[in-house]
Structure 1
Amino acid sequence: MKNLVFFTLLLSSFWIYSQKKTLQAQQISQGISIDGKLDEPAWETATVASDFIMFEPDNGKPIPDTKKTEIKVLYNNDALYIGAIMHDDEPNKILKEISQRDDFGTADLFGVFINGFNDGQQNFEFFVSAADVQADCIMTDANGEDYSWDAIWISKAVLTDKGWVVEMKIPYAALRFSEGKKQTWGINFFREIKRERKKYTWTIINTKIGTFTQQNGNLEGIENIKPPTRLFFMPYASYYLNAAGNQQTYGTMKGGMDIKYGINDAFTLDAILVPDFGQAKYDDQILNLGPFEQQFNENRAFFTEGTDLFNKGELFYSRRIGGKPTIEPDLEDNEKIIEDPQNVNLINALKISGRTKKGLGIGILNAVTEKTFATIKDTLTGETRRVIAEPLMNYNVLVLDQRFRKNSSVTFINTNVTRNGHFRDSNVSALVWDLNTKANTYNLSGNFKYSTVHDTEDKNGIYANIGFAETSGNYRYSIGSDFVSKDYDPNDLGINFYTNYYNFFGNANYRILNPTKLFNAFKVNLNTYTEFNKDSGKIQESNIAVNTNVTTIKNNYYGFGISLYPFESYDYYEPRATNRYVALPRRFESWASVSTNYNYKFALDFNPTIAIMDEPGRINYGFDIGPRYRFSDKLLLNYTFSFLRRNNNKGYIDSFDQDNNQDTPKDIVFANRTVITYSNTLGGKYALNSTMTINLAVRQYWSFAENKEILQLESNGTLTTYPEYTKNKNSSFYSWNADLSYSWWFAPGSQLSVLYRNNASNFERVIDKDYGSNVTNLLNNEALKHIFSVSVKYFIDYNAVKNRLKNGV
């Protein structure tokens, strides 16, 4: 009888917690003051959402009564209003570090996830911390959470003697939904109790299923809303004061505007007129000894906010727009470049994005950059001339993304780059699919991409991928393959390094879905990968890797992995010549990672690595170590030291034609070298309150490659000594960046930023191994640049202005 009762209760609990919950929103006519008090009459009569369920670590466990959470939703023609009461039996222990926007810090959180189409594909997520700090992002299962997206909304968090309270106003302009008199939206609510590292949701998110966005509840009751015109202006003004070495100090003023217009409830136009990216984060440059360019993160808000559609198929690398000029000037023997522009100015850019009621997402992005010149000087006559470094250019991206069955999509993407005049143009198209079974247990994904380049010689290429995976349960696996032709080239608006190969890969993994006596989380992965050159059939890479990642009951993270490369492989990219390759020895690699619980004032990250090659003395080893200390809820400092040493590293340094005969093979010169890299980074934050922060970011970097022996690459991929080569091809690169900034969000969407920045970098062939003098010389170098800037942007809502004028205010 006891077993029958237990089974009945278990079955009942499973049925209750696996059902999709529904909440009724209540329409209001009176105003709501966003003060965190919930004292308006409408809050008293609104329907309550409660009975939260643990998401992590003990998935499916009900929230205790001492942490009861109650949510209410109101709406009018302008916005959605969320009221949340988070009970806590130990309110004095609520963590509440004040952090920057979109940085959770060490603080309790409340969040709401909204899907206006209720199609299980994409959530708009809004968070407020117990320190009254906002964060927002767009969430998809394919790409995770994208915090570069920022919306304009209002919130207030207040601590009480029974826990804490959050009040939110989310304007419809911050959401996307289809037209219709009666709306049913997907919704879920989130709470994290930081000191316990426990996360709860209103509707259970079953971790046995490999999807997050498809497990929302329903929000009903929103009817006959008439959202106002969505038209917003964000004018800005900036002042820059520049100084460097013996150069004259000068100041510049800039001004411009961003415009956001809601074409309808689902589609939005974003335009940037006279852009200013002067306060964007500096790039962390490195000593790049490899055959490929360094890939940089995008730090310009326009190209990061709401670009999830444009990232489909991985064809769009936004740093191409306004990047370094691509045309190398032809120089005579007695000429040199005296003005070499590092970037191309962006004239304007716009993007249109949204989704129809039937699930068709449409994205259009267009940008225009100006004609750019380099200046060349004749060293004999002193005459100068200007040559085109980049012509007037137009960049365009088109995306059509059809969602269906709430968990699958098929996407068409096209990117196009047109240069004015007789210069290189390119076009890339792709078909991408992501198909899931109804129960979200299996996935079939893939793509087919076709590139066309019009230049002195037209080239066409393809990239094809197919993958199959089991995506639910404790045990999961995936298999797949890529095929890339030799002439596949998306690099005018995308980025792709490897071509002319095919591969096969697989993964099998096991994870726990609920805590054990030792672990809150545990996962072990087995990965295999084999890649072949398409023409020769030679192995370009082959490895098998095992790694384990665990989080202990005390929320300390540990990871460990080993990789074995059991066969000699052949690198077709390092020689920088067609049909040439260098043989790579078998090798063994291992890494470890430790990250202690950030809830404590002091925490530490430590990441050692080692790689041992099947070649005498050829070994790589290094580590990162990063202590951090939270002095108070306002002050945080973190520091990271990185070191990497590569002994007997073999790499390309030069090439030339034998006797200047183009028909004979190139002499390709390698070096046996020691490569050592040091890096120091210091970050700090002092928060005056939830809208004002002072931030510090410092990075010092030094890396050098010292050649021990000069080698020649033979046609069979081996290396032999080459004493005839006598050029100095040592490399030493060091750089310094320092940013000290003050940021004040003085109104929703409006910000004042004050920034002092200095930076310098230098590349030399002579290596000075005195670490201290290297840093001192760089800071005393005339190349050290100082920039002081002040920037103000102000958010203007057309409707607010119209109403004020109408009311005579």
Structure 2
Amino acid sequence: MKCYTCLLVLFLFPIIIFAQDSTSTVKKRIYTTKPLQGAEAPTIDGLINESGWDLVEWTGDFTENQPDENTPPSQKTKFKIVYDQKYLYIAYRCYDDEPDKIEKRLSRRDGFAGDWVEINLDTYHDKRTGFSFSITAAGVKGDEFISQNGDNWDSSWNPIWYTATNIDEEGWTAEVKIPLSQVKFGKSKEQIWGLQVNRRLFRKEERSVWQRIPQDAPGWVSEFGELHGLIDIEPQKQLEIQPFAVTQLDTYPKEEGNPFRDGDDFELNGGLDAKIGITNDLTLDLTVNPDFGQVEADPAAIALDGFQIFFREQRPFFVENKNIFDYRFANNQDNVFYSRRIGRNPKGSISGIDNEFIDRPTNTTILGAAKFSGKTKDGWSIGILESVTSREIAKIEDENGNKREAIVEPLTNYMVGRVQKDFNKRNSFIGGIITATNRDLGDTFNIDEEDPDTDETSEVAGTRENNLNLLRKSAYSAGLDFKHNWKDRKYFLEGNIVASHVEGSKEAIEETQNELTHLFQRVDAGHVEVDPNRTSLTGTGGKLTGGKSGGGNWRYSAGVFWRSPELELNDIGFLRQADEIRQFSSARYLFLKPTKLYRRANINFNQFATFDFDGNYNRIQYRLEGFINYKNNWWTEAGFGHKPRIFTNTFLRGGPRWRFSDENFAYLFFGSDRRKKFNFTVGYDGSRAAQNSFSFNRYVIRLRYQPFNSFSMSLNPQFRQNPNKTQYVTEADFNGTARYITADIDQQTLSASIRLNYNINPNLTIQYYGEPFISRGRYKDFNYVNNAVAKNLGERVTLYNQDQISLVDDQYEIDENRDGTVDYTIDNPDFAFVQFRSNLVLRWEYIPGSEIFLVWSQGVTGDGNPGDHLFRSLKNQILDQQPENTFLIKATYRFVL
């Protein structure tokens, strides 16, 4: 099977390499700026009337980019650029023959609502990355860091810059002042930067650009025009210090007798963030005792398959410049660096006894972190991140007042180093990454320490326990990656490789081998087995792919990736499953020219096949999907697929390889014009398996309404049904034989995220986010696995008869051999998980870069009655429960030195 994968990839690569070009090269435009040199510097008020603007000419002649590429736009646009030693100044004149129809919608920063104009600057001139500064007609800023040649726009980047707008009888104008310290560039006599200016005419959903970029272009940044005339500007070494102070009050239901739950907690905290320009290319970011109290709550989720759930990073320190540290080596989520590991929930175990109360930390405290990152004029991208998290201790007290402590997370050091080098006229790069995680686990794994507060060392009172014996002591990884583009970046070949090495006690490494990610204990595995004496584990992974990314109507790619059984990245990375080899390919056709029916459309076909390192052919899947944006800006996307072969090594959690029935799936979503003050999306996706063994239905409605320019709301309810005749329940022992038990589950999940945004002005906003989440599962028709790889469901499992299974005191008793004696028991797996999370945030940027946050967070989490319907669980467990509340005030002040 491995040979089959390699042969398929080798067969597809010649098609990629010898494909034909179908487009001509577009001539690069050049704009030449001039220095102010004593002339009047513009006052940023939106009125273009200062004499400094007269030093340069207007440039215009924009070309429509969307929907009808390479045609004259509906309205004209022009701009001019001047500079001095500290600032870049841009003036825009956006003509509009119907100025009363200019859309002036307010939004939070980076909302991009209504009419806007933006400038993109490739200051490195690497044709892959850039800085974007947008301004709406209402005066709302938008700023993004562009990477991956326009495939990734990171709005978490928030530089300090200044802007103002004005509407008059000719349309609207804008002035922008960008400190040169906020963008990065190398030292040279004359700077040559990539340049693009892009305007959105909202009412026609029309985009026009200064430098024409064909719809079949291989990217965005690589196609920019050029900005010349920046002579002898000095690189600006950025120095910003931002202290903050936080006061926080938590209230929650009081628990009688629990000394740790008396009804409220109060905390006063502070810290410091700093940004230091080592050179104009490279920046050192520092944070001491960071606070992330204003960050939005993660969406609720529940996973019955046992795998970890991926959550996106929202903390500003880790989000900024994250593209430099990114190293996705296989699929979209597998990454050598997953910053959510830093400050994670403590993982140490606690050996509790009856009548004890436990105060366990929710997150690990980040004592400090430093990040050195940037890109040099020579094409070196550099990133180094170092962070230390504190030892976390859980406090334990029984009803008699006896106290003890348990260490639930050790002092830990995290390090990431990343480097890439551009070459071949910026068409290629090669890079590498290293990571290290080191934990201070102490000399032994089960210790009692003298408590300095009580001077007691008894087994009950005043003891501190180390419960870290299952944590790995250290983890290291390293990788190399490359990408090569040719024929004007229309074709590409890229690849990477990664290796990992983890160390720890015998118990920790045995636990690693038994984790769901690895499953060395799998009973039918011929290539791995658990070695209880191992104290380390080393594995590899990687990817090789190539394809066509631009030119003409066709795009296609093919490749292979692998993750060896021993690969382990979850100390500082994200790895869902090891022991896999996957071949994949895709082909996409783009309808580039709008017609009377649509503005744009595409259709895509993809397939993949998976194998494990034991040579098992586990899966094949095919999918066909398409998207169309109609002339009236309504849209539809649809797809369907077939899975004729589905085997998995993980379903029985260490049991034999399992076969799922053949499956078909489909989805259909459509929506109205997103520009309208009221718009919606309605969708469905679902799947059906043979013999009705499994099905999935998800119904989605997204409603968005903006009754007036300063207020918007959205409601996104979802309902899921997931019946499954063979949902894994547990493993039991029957006379020395393992019994893998599954059951028929009726699972239903209801959620509804709610967002309200009120913008008093562009710098003062109120935002609300809330999401109730209810998931209920009822089990019946319990059965045990008979032949895990049988195609027929009746041969795969055997149902228990009524005289074999009975429910007694919320526990199933099973007399499998019918001799009147209970052979084994199963806890009743029925569940109802209920959660509500919300954030209400007032954000005031009282001067550029300095903010005040007022935050009210609320949450309820509980277990409902599985016998209730979903709405009764909503009422009983959310509406009728006293919530936990957090009230927080955070103030920051950014000193720019």
TM-score (norm 2): 0.83
**1:490 paired residue number:** 569
**1:212 paired residue number:** 220
Instruction: Find 2:123's aligned residue among 109, 116, 119.
Output: 116
Count residues with an aligned counterpart.
771
Instruction: Find 1:635's aligned residue among 686, 711, 718.
Output: 711
SS at match of 2:722: strand
Q: Deviations over 1:598-656 (max 9, x none)?
A: 22222111111121110236322121112222101112121121101112353222234
- Structure 2 gaps, min length 5: 1-22, 255-261, 329-334, 443-471, 506-534, 790-795, 806-813, 815-824
SS at match of 1:47: coil
**2:87 paired residue number:** 79
Contact 2:670 2:683 in 1 (8 A): yes
CA shift, 1:477, in A, is 1.1
Q: Name the CA distance, whole Å, in 1 between partners of 2:586 and 2:749.
A: 33
Q: Name the CA distance, whole Å, in 1 between partners of 2:31 and 2:869.
A: 67
The question of 1:46 aligning with 2:66 is answered no
**1:304 paired residue number:** 319
Q: Deviations over 1:326-382 (max 9, x none)?
A: 2334x3776977233221111011101112221011100111100012345689x98
* Cα pair distance change 1:465/1:665, threshold 3 Å: farther
* Cα pair distance change 1:337/1:527, threshold 3 Å: farther
Instruction: Find 1:756's aligned residue among 853, 856, 873.
Output: 856
Q: Deviations over 1:182-239 (max 9, x none)?
A: 2111111111111111111111112212211101111111111234542111111222
The equivalences for 1:75-114 within 5 A come to 75-105=83-113, 107-114=114-121
Contact 1:51 1:63 in 2 (8 A): no
**2:689 paired residue number:** 613
The question of 1:570 aligning with 2:647 is answered yes
Contact 1:741 1:754 in 2 (8 A): yes
SS at match of 2:54: helix
- In the alignment, residue 260 of structure 1 is paired with which amino acid? K
Q: Deviations over 1:667-688 (max 9, x none)?
A: 3322210110011222111211
- In the alignment, residue 788 of structure 2 is paired with which amino acid? N
Contact 1:26 1:47 in 2 (8 A): no
Q: Deviations over 1:18-63 (max 9, x none)?
A: 2111111110134321111121101122132211112212122233
SS at match of 2:266: strand
The question of 1:445 aligning with 2:494 is answered yes
The question of 1:373 aligning with 2:393 is answered yes
SS at match of 2:222: helix
Contact 2:598 2:628 in 1 (8 A): yes
Instruction: Find 2:720's aligned residue among 644, 668, 672.
Output: 644
The question of 1:326 aligning with 2:334 is answered no
- In the alignment, residue 409 of structure 2 is paired with which amino acid? E
The question of 1:703 aligning with 2:775 is answered yes
* Cα pair distance change 1:112/1:337, threshold 3 Å: same
CA shift, 1:391, in A, is 0.7
The question of 1:141 aligning with 2:213 is answered no
**1:789 paired residue number:** 888
- In the alignment, residue 296 of structure 2 is paired with which amino acid? K
**2:838 paired residue number:** 738
Q: Name the CA distance, whole Å, in 1 between partners of 2:674 and 2:171.
A: 22
- In the alignment, residue 573 of structure 1 is paired with which amino acid? T
* Cα pair distance change 1:373/1:59, threshold 3 Å: same
Q: Name the CA distance, whole Å, in 2 between partners of 1:616 and 1:208.
A: 44
Contact 2:437 2:572 in 1 (8 A): yes
Farther-moved stretch of structure 1 (247-256 vs 434-443) = 247-256
**1:805 paired residue number:** none
The question of 1:200 aligning with 2:215 is answered no
The question of 1:395 aligning with 2:386 is answered no
**2:361 paired residue number:** 341
- In the alignment, residue 265 of structure 1 is paired with which amino acid? N
SS at match of 2:323: coil
Q: Name the CA distance, whole Å, in 2 between partners of 1:754 and 1:60.
A: 48
Q: Deviations over 1:106-138 (max 9, x none)?
A: x01110111112120101111111111011111
CA shift, 1:407, in A, is 2.8
- In the alignment, residue 163 of structure 2 is paired with which amino acid? S
CA shift, 1:525, in A, is 0.4
Instruction: Find 1:264's aligned residue among 273, 276, 279.
Output: 279
- In the alignment, residue 705 of structure 1 is paired with which amino acid? G
**1:802 paired residue number:** none
* Cα pair distance change 1:458/1:657, threshold 3 Å: farther
SS at match of 2:827: coil
The question of 1:433 aligning with 2:433 is answered no
Q: Deviations over 1:285-321 (max 9, x none)?
A: 2222122111112121111112110113331111100
Q: Name the CA distance, whole Å, in 1 between partners of 2:611 and 2:873.
A: 47
- Structure 1 gaps, min length 5: 1-13, 799-809
- In the alignment, residue 770 of structure 2 is paired with which amino acid? V
CA shift, 1:100, in A, is 0.5
Q: Name the CA distance, whole Å, in 1 between partners of 2:348 and 2:281.
A: 41
The equivalences for 1:176-255 within 5 A come to 176-246=184-254, 247-255=262-270
Contact 1:287 1:732 in 2 (8 A): no
Contact 2:117 2:134 in 1 (8 A): yes
* Cα RMSD for the two superposed structures: 2.1
Q: Name the CA distance, whole Å, in 1 between partners of 2:870 and 2:718.
A: 18
**2:662 paired residue number:** 586
Contact 2:634 2:673 in 1 (8 A): yes
**1:417 paired residue number:** 437
CA shift, 1:773, in A, is 5.1
**1:34 paired residue number:** 44
Contact 2:41 2:52 in 1 (8 A): no
Contact 2:187 2:235 in 1 (8 A): no
* Cα pair distance change 1:665/1:335, threshold 3 Å: farther
- In the alignment, residue 319 of structure 1 is paired with which amino acid? R
- In the alignment, residue 531 of structure 1 is paired with which amino acid? T
- In the alignment, residue 403 of structure 1 is paired with which amino acid? D
CA shift, 1:537, in A, is 1.1
CA shift, 1:589, in A, is 0.5
Q: Name the CA distance, whole Å, in 1 between partners of 2:319 and 2:243.
A: 19
Q: Name the CA distance, whole Å, in 1 between partners of 2:856 and 2:601.
A: 44
- In the alignment, residue 436 of structure 1 is paired with which amino acid? N
Instruction: Find 1:282's aligned residue among 276, 280, 297.
Output: 297
Farther-moved stretch of structure 1 (49-58 vs 362-371) = 49-58
**2:603 paired residue number:** 524
The question of 1:716 aligning with 2:788 is answered yes
Farther-moved stretch of structure 1 (542-551 vs 693-702) = 693-702
The equivalences for 1:656-695 within 5 A come to 656=732, 666-695=738-767
TM-score (norm 1): 0.92
Q: Name the CA distance, whole Å, in 2 between partners of 1:236 and 1:181.
A: 40
Instruction: Find 1:474's aligned residue among 553, 568, 593.
Output: 553
* Cα pair distance change 1:658/1:448, threshold 3 Å: farther
**2:636 paired residue number:** 558
* Cα pair distance change 1:332/1:196, threshold 3 Å: closer
Q: Name the CA distance, whole Å, in 2 between partners of 1:335 and 1:789.
A: 33
Q: Name the CA distance, whole Å, in 1 between partners of 2:404 and 2:781.
A: 42
Contact 1:649 1:675 in 2 (8 A): no
SS at match of 2:692: coil
Q: Deviations over 1:471-512 (max 9, x none)?
A: 122012111111211011111111111211112111111111
Identity %: 26
SS at match of 1:309: helix
Contact 1:312 1:411 in 2 (8 A): no
**1:59 paired residue number:** 69
Farther-moved stretch of structure 1 (550-559 vs 283-292) = 283-292
